[in-house]
Structures are given as C-alpha cells and as structure tokens.
Structure 1
Amino acid sequence: MPAAADPTEQAGTGGEAGSDRERLAARIAAAFHRVSSRAGGNWQAYVSLAGPDGPLVAVNESADLRIEAYSVNKIAVAVAVLDKVDRGLLALDHQVEVTEAIVVTGGDGIFSLDGAYPSLVTVGHVLANLLTVSDDTAVRLCGLVCPAAEINQILVAKGFPNTQVQPVANPNRFFLGTSTPRETHDLLRALVAGTLLSPASTDRVLRLLRSPVAFTDGVRREMSSAERARVATKAGWYADARHEAGVIFDTAGAPLVTYALFADGQADADDFGATHPAVQARARWGRRVMDLTAGVGGTGTTHRKHLYRPSNGG
C-alpha cells in the first residue's frame, strides 16, 4: 500500500504559483533528505520542479560531482544513436548481428537468455531492450552502429561534456562512463523540451522509459499502473552504486519533476533488488512526490502517454 502522506506536506492545487511552488519544492527536498538520511551512504542529486518562470531547484546535493553513471548513461547512448537516425546516417530497421561472442552473460537483459546465435535484430529492437530491461548486450550492439568516440562527440556537441562513455581498445566497445547529477538532469530536461532529438525520436525514448516493463523497483514501485505511466525513468546499478534518473509528468503529459538521484556506499552492496536501502529510499520518495504534486500542473511540451492494453494471447 502507498505510504500515507505526511500531514505537513500536502500539495496545493494546479493554480498555485510563486511562493506556493517554492514551498512545494521545499517539501520535495524535505522528503528527499528524510529518505536519503534513513538509507545512509553517499547521495549526489539534482531535482527540479517545473514552474511558469522556469524550473525551481528542489535538491542540489553534490550535483556537479562527476561520477560513474552506470546504466543511467544508457539514456545518453540511446540519444547518440537516435541522433544518427535523425541525421539520416542510420535507420531503426537497420539490422545488427548478435553473435555468441558479443553477448554479455550473467548480467541484465534478455539477449543472454536466448541461447540461439547468431541472430539478427534491428536497431529499434536494440534500443527497446537498452532502455527497458537495461540489456547489457544492447550496449555492445549500440557500439556496432555508434562507436564510443562518436557517442562522446555527439554528447559534447549537445552540451554534455561530463556525460561520456569510457572507450576501450576495441572502438566498438565501451564502459558506460560518467556523468554528473546536474548534467543527467539537464539532458532529461532537454529531451522533454524537444531540443535534443527530433519529435519522433523524443517520443521513442520517452515511450520506452515510461513503458510498464521499464524499471519499477525504485521511484515507480509504490504507484498504480496509471501513475507509473506518468514517470519516465532509468536506473543504473553496479558494485555499491544504486542510481536512478527520470521525469515525472502531470496528468496532461507536461513535465513536472525532473530528478537525478545517484547513491553509493549504502549497506547490502550485494543486493541488487528492491530491498536495497537506496532503492527503498527512492520508492518512498517517488510515492511522496506523487502525493505532493497531485493536482499540480507541469510546464512545457506535453508528451502523450501510450495506453497499456494487456493481452491474453490470441
């Protein structure tokens, strides 16, 4: 069951402005500090609340510290690949070969579960797996069509010099690299503003990040299916780090809260599930933010949600 709202943190209505928005931002910040203190460890975060005169910064916690972003940087990788699509240098139906040698075994995703290689998949299929089930093999497949050096060049050109993958000897392979909470936040803000990619590519990224199969252990965990559809999110985990970044939209589809929450150093470093302290903290925070912002409108470009229609086969 969703956590009960703190009686001191009741949201106003959609007509609030100015000081009301500032109070709401302060309550979002208070919720973050409560759950992060309870979880312990180190937190680097940047959170903003949309407002008529621009975003209000709610959380600014070591926001310019450049750290390993892990799978949160899969958003940046997808942006680079789709930038090539937008420029006509690549097509979503372009096929790449999945060989046994390229499959990452024992990690996240579904390619490692196939067991029948070689096979052919499209770039569109690769991106779907990259951003929903956070497939590690999909990272290598992206490298086949957008090498590490090109990814970094594209991101620098778009204004993200700290959001960079880490090249290795093979130009088509890379580690997911670094970012800062502020740059990850700003990349997401640019995405929803429509200044990062074409409308079609923007919709594709947001559709994947808002899909029911996208990450549900963190911010979206204590939400209904309708509420989850209002949240575009991507998590990243490795060693003792548990990160998550995304956007919460209002009921009309306008961006409302943008967050980049990077955490490390908590207990249970071997727990990659929903019971990890940092993941639990993000779940509590997500529920509280959803309650606090009930009835509050976002600003900027609206992004339609895609209806979830369960199937029974046939």
Structure 2
Amino acid sequence: MTIRVNRRTALGLGTVATAGTVLGAATPASAASDVTEPAPTTPQQAARRVAASYARQTEEAGGNWQAYVSVADPAGEPVVAVADEPDRRIEAYSVNKIAVAAAVLDKVDRGLLTLDQRVEVTAAIVVPGGDGMFSLDGAYPSFVTLGHVLANLLTVSDDTAVRLCGLVCPAAELNQILRDKGFPNTQVQPVANPNRFFLGTSTPRETHDLLRALVGGTLLSPAATAFVLRQLRAPVAFTDGIRRVMSSTQRARIATKAGWFADARHEAGVIFDAAGAPVLTYALFADGQAGADDFGATHPAVEARARMGRRFLAAVDRLTGTGITHRPAVQRPSNGG
C-alpha cells in the first residue's frame, strides 16, 4: 500500500528528512506493522516511524490537523518527527488546562498560594452540565482544597475547576505568568469578570515546548512538577486517545491531556521510557472531522490518536529518554475496607 502524502502530511515528513532520515520504501506497509516490526534503535529511526504513523492516521481520519512531535536524542537536541503547521495559533480548549495549572502552581511555588488552602464552591460558580465532578455532586455551597481543584482540572478535566482556579489566579495575572515563562501564544481569553476566562489559545509548538519545560524541570519546582505529572499519568486521567490500546503499565508511562469542544479533538503529552525519562513529546490538534457531536472514543480523530499512541510507544520502546527521571506513582487498587 502506498502512503498518501498531501501538503499537510508532507510538512511532518519533511522535518524528519532534515534530521538525516528519509521516508522511503522501508516504511511499514500496513497499519499494524509498525507495532509488530522490531522497534527502532535510534531517535532518527523512531522519528521516521512516528512521522509515517501520523501521516497515515491523519489522512484516514480526515479534517484539519496541526501538530508538533519530537523524539529525545541523548546526543543533542530532540529530533523533530512531525511539524504540521506548528506555529498556527488555535483554540486549545482543555489542553490549556495544563497551562492554567502551571500558572496556579507557579503562585504556589512563590508562596502566594498553598495546595491545602480552601476554595469555596458555590452554586453560581458551577458550570451547568459541565464535564467533571463539581457539576454532579450538587452539594453547594461547599469547600475544597486547591489541590483537589487542580486534581479535578487535570484528570477528569473538570470545567468548574477552571472557574475555581480563576478565583486564585485571575486571567490577566495568569496570562502574564505564561508570558514571563516564554509562552506568549498560550493564553486564556479574559471576559468581563476578571476571575473568569475562556481557555484560550496555543500553538502546537508552544504546547510541546511547555511540556518539555515541565518534564525538564524549568517550568515549575520539583514538587509542583511531580504534582502535575502524577495527575496526567493517573489511571483516571484521559484514556480514550493516545493511551487507549495499552496495558495499565504502558499507560503509566504516558502523561496526557485532551481537549474537546465543538468539532475540535486535541491531545498533548509526554511518553517516558521504562525508567521514567521523557522520550517523546506530542501536541496533536484536530478539527473538522465527521462526528462533531461524538465526544467519545469513536470520533475519527480520537480513534486516529488511539492508533498513533500504540505506534508512537512502539517506536520509542527501545530508546532511552533524556533529562530528569519521573517515575510513575505506584497505584494500589482497593476493594474498600
């Protein structure tokens, strides 16, 4: 089978070619072969495998895609596998909850907030029918800790948690924190109420770079970094996309955050090697596919990401990551008692 390459997918493949690899006849011919074939042993080989999977799966899913994906290289800078309109500024939706959490935790790092401080949940602040726990429990007014808010923000992607973050980090301050950290395109959208905002915009490259800064230890303190990664790697975090066709052990090697609204289905995250060092970073933004009313696992873009996830993991499975090691938290299932 010949892989179909259009202008969009060629952008991704062309980046790999600049790193010294060429997508040629050796590219796996079937959608499953890049999982069953021997795993690549160099970052360049892995990048080529990732690029081929991205091209194949996005072509099949259709719609519009913007992405930036890199593979860590112990010899130097990461090898860019996919650069598909990486600097296009687009609505990031819930992927930007990582940036919101980073801004709040920056204030924690500076001693302006604490994770155990209480935040009031009123009926007026709960998003009616929103994703997450706060719209389900109906117990208002009540108080929760800021740590509880952030855990809900990053795992079940709670919409009300966004508003609760706004109580302690207003939109203007949040955006300034992100600009000061080097992310001028990753910004929330202020509204009339200074403590509320829409989740705003980012670019694939900036989302990728924010994640690289997070795992590299330059975005937040070690404690705050560990907090974010613990949420994004948790079994209760998003599993319909990149992590879907994986064992629990494999899922624990991936920190991921999805964002969905209208016809957009985004996801961004980091794959770690077996020891816990980051080895692949991805930012995948998609919209315009069929099934705009389908927010489940059967949406074409989500299915495409599920196939990509298994193949991305297989592509880097024999590689060693770089930088700080982030071991996953040990999960101990309980039967109550």
* TM-score normalised by length of structure 2: 0.89
The structural deviation recorded for 1:246 is 0.1
Aligned equivalent of 1:31: 53
Aligned equivalent of 2:265: 242
Percent identity of equivalent pairs: 76
The whole-number CA distance in structure 2 between the counterparts of 1:9 and 1:280 is: 22
Counterparts of residues 109-258 of structure 1 (less than 5 Å): 109-258=132-281
Could you give the per-residue CA deviations for residues 255-293 of structure 1, whole angstroms, max 9, x where no partner exists? 010000000000000000000000000000000111222
What secondary structure does 1:299 align onto?
coil
Choose 61-70 or 3-12, whichever is displaced more. 3-12
Aligned equivalent of 1:54: 77
| Gap regions ≥5 residues in structure 2 | 1-30
Give the letter for the 1:45 counterpart: A
The whole-number CA distance in structure 2 between the counterparts of 1:43 and 1:181 is: 10
8 Å CA contact 2:34, 2:315 repeated in 1: no
The whole-number CA distance in structure 2 between the counterparts of 1:117 and 1:7 is: 49
Counterparts of residues 290-309 of structure 1 (less than 5 Å): 290-309=313-332
The structural deviation recorded for 1:304 is 1.2
2:327 paired with 1:312: no
Give the letter for the 2:225 counterpart: T
Aligned equivalent of 2:299: 276
The whole-number CA distance in structure 2 between the counterparts of 1:183 and 1:244 is: 13
The structural deviation recorded for 1:6 is 3.0
The whole-number CA distance in structure 2 between the counterparts of 1:231 and 1:150 is: 30
Give the letter for the 1:32 counterpart: Y
8 Å CA contact 2:243, 2:251 repeated in 1: yes
The whole-number CA distance in structure 2 between the counterparts of 1:247 and 1:5 is: 23
* TM-score normalised by length of structure 1: 0.96
Give the letter for the 2:61 counterpart: A
Could you give the per-residue CA deviations for residues 288-310 of structure 1, whole angstroms, max 9, x where no partner exists? 11122222111111001111110
The whole-number CA distance in structure 1 between the counterparts of 2:126 and 2:157 is: 14
Counterparts of residues 88-103 of structure 1 (less than 5 Å): 88-103=111-126
8 Å CA contact 1:9, 1:292 repeated in 2: no
Aligned equivalent of 2:12: none
8 Å CA contact 1:9, 1:27 repeated in 2: no
The whole-number CA distance in structure 1 between the counterparts of 2:252 and 2:35 is: 26
What secondary structure does 1:55 align onto?
strand
Could you give the per-residue CA deviations for residues 145-180 of structure 1, whole angstroms, max 9, x where no partner exists? 000000000000000000000000000000000000
8 Å CA contact 1:92, 1:123 repeated in 2: yes
What secondary structure does 1:64 align onto?
coil
The structural deviation recorded for 1:116 is 1.3
Name which of 38, 51, 54 aligns with 1:10: 38
What secondary structure does 2:276 align onto?
coil
The structural deviation recorded for 1:23 is 2.0
What secondary structure does 2:240 align onto?
coil
Give the letter for the 1:96 counterpart: V
The structural deviation recorded for 1:107 is 1.8
Alpha-carbon RMSD: 1.1
8 Å CA contact 2:214, 2:225 repeated in 1: yes
Give the letter for the 1:255 counterpart: P
Aligned length: 306
8 Å CA contact 1:80, 1:146 repeated in 2: yes
The structural deviation recorded for 1:8 is 8.8
The structural deviation recorded for 1:4 is 4.0
